[in-house]
């Protein structure tokens, strides 16, 4: 899969940065009146951008199951792995 190659993973970062920049640029072209939800969309894109590198790292570490196997198990192994890694990250001394 493409996520095992660093140059492919960086494209996910580029995608979300592009989404943020495009929405910000579009918002500058219109009046700020009644734009409820758009700022929240930018915040969501920014949060995804902040987490995507870590999530992709977790995916690349999970070489035990193939994508069809993960899908067959309802994505539970994937969610469990993400939760375990996030718990590890929180417990690491800083």
Question: Could you list the mean pLDDT of each consecutive 10-residue stretch along the chain, which spans 94 residues?
Answer: 79 95 96 90 94 82 71 82 81 74
Provide the residue range defining the domain that includes 43.
1-61
43 shares its domain with 70: no
- Output the pLDDT for position 14: 96
> CA nearest 89: which of 45, 51, 60?
51
Same domain for 57 and 68?
Answer: no
Residues 69, 56 within the same domain: no
pLDDT of residue 1: 57
Per the confidence metrics, is the pTM higher than 0.75? no
Residues 50 and 69 in one domain: no
């Amino acid at each position: 899969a493409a996520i095992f190659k660093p140059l492919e993973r960086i494209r996910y970062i580029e995608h979300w940065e592009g989404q943020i920049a495009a929405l910000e640029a579009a918002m500058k072209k219109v009046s700020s009146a009644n734009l409820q939800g758009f700022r929240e969309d930018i915040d969501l894109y920014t949060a995804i951008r902040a987490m995507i590198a870590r999530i992709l790292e977790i995916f690349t570490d999970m070489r035990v199951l193939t994508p069809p196997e993960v899908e067959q198990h309802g994505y539970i192994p994937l969610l469990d792995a993400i939760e375990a890694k996030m718990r590890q990250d929180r417990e690491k001394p800083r």
